[in-house]
Amino acid sequence: MAEVAKYVGVSAMTVSRAFRQDASVSEETRKRIMEAVDALGYVLDLSAGSLSSRRSGFIAALVPSINNSNFSDTARGITDALENTGLQLLLGYTDYAAEKEEKLIEAMLRRRPEGIILTGGSHTERARRMLDKAGIPVVETWEIPEEPINHVVGFSNSEAMSLLVRTLASQGYRRFGYIGGTTARDTRGSQRRSGFLKTVEELGLGPGRAISFGVPPITMEQGGQAIVSLLERWPDTEVVLCVSDLSAFGAIMECKRRGMRVPEDIAIAGFGDYEISSICHPSITTINVDCYGIGRQAAVRLLDALQAGSEASGDEITLISYKVVLRESTDRSAR
């Protein structure tokens, strides 16, 4: 608060009154204070007046989706790691929108969490400023950001998709297609698409046949619609890689409705190893990621940082393993 006061040229008490909507502060002064707050990344601490210990007893975690089993597993990993620590988890849902994430970060920071765990490494500039000023451990997960805020627990989505392409190419597939979302707000999906296109080109398999369909997260229905569009454009495609197992499942169901056999007529693979990928027929070839481990390692990293206090080192990266799981949907022996 003192930093905001100095920036505007008023007293700390005036800043405090402005936040409380005190009538003694003019609208012009309040406007200047709020502009300074945005510029400096300051967040009003709502807990300061009620918590003399300055301990809130919770950590915050933001996930893009609450109906995605992968992120549910990540949240479970966080919760299990926090057991017996006296800390509780407060979960926020961003719907893959950076603007919504920014608002949630501000709302969380107003209540002074002990630390915060984020999904992905793409944030608004204001969100990054707020996190930088917060003075608490920050852990970014599910990818490897180019410019980490603090700690990272994740993997390269691009390299994981590249591994899937190379594995299927080694089995003899040559004409590859890809189904992803229409926007870049799902940065992990964009990275998977980039990994696909780069690897197909490196292997000399021609330009990638990529379809952008639906706003992330792509649904099963959109996966079905997307494969129709892809095959109408490139009917000789041999194998289609999808941004997630849900879109892959939708693609498989649409193929069945149209009398196409998977994998005999068209092979299909997903990403994420959701539960549905192992129990549907045919079962879906996919990339398995330790979703639970991401959450647990993120919480452990945060707890270590809290224990180390001012001595904690930043920009530490914990790599999470991934692997290709080959199943019936790409089994060439069925052809």
pLDDT tens digits, 107-123: 999 989 999 999 999 99
pLDDT at 311 over 60: no
Helices 125-134/27-40 angle, 10° precision: 80
Q: Is residue 329 part of a domain?
A: no
Give me the mean pLDDT over the 31-40 stretch.
Answer: 84
Range of the domain at 109: 54-155+291-322
Q: Is the same domain home to 161 and 284?
A: yes
- Rounded to whole angstroms, how far apart are CA atoms 201 and 178? 13
Report CA dihedral (293, 294, 297, 301) to the nearest 10 degrees.
Answer: 180
- Looking up residue 25, the CATH number of its domain turns out to be 1.10.260.40
Q: Is residue 334 part of a domain?
A: no
Q: Is the same domain home to 106 and 250?
A: no
Report pLDDT for 123. 96
Q: Is residue 335 part of a domain?
A: no
Collapsed DSSP state (helix, strand, coil) of residue 195: helix
Q: What is the mean pLDDT of the chain?
A: 91
Give the number of domains in the chain.
Answer: 3
Q: Is the same domain home to 142 and 226?
A: no
- Looking up residue 110, the CATH number of its domain turns out to be 3.40.50.2300
pLDDT digit string (tens) for 257-284? 999 999 999 999 999 999 999 999 999 9
pLDDT at 238 over 90: yes
Helix residue spans in 110-207 (DSSP H)? 125-134, 157-170, 187-202
Q: Is the same domain home to 275 and 193?
A: yes
Report pLDDT for 226. 97
Residue 11: which pLDDT band, with cuts at 50, 70 and 90?
confident
pLDDT digit string (tens) for 62-105? 999 887 889 999 999 999 999 989 899 999 999 999 999 999 99
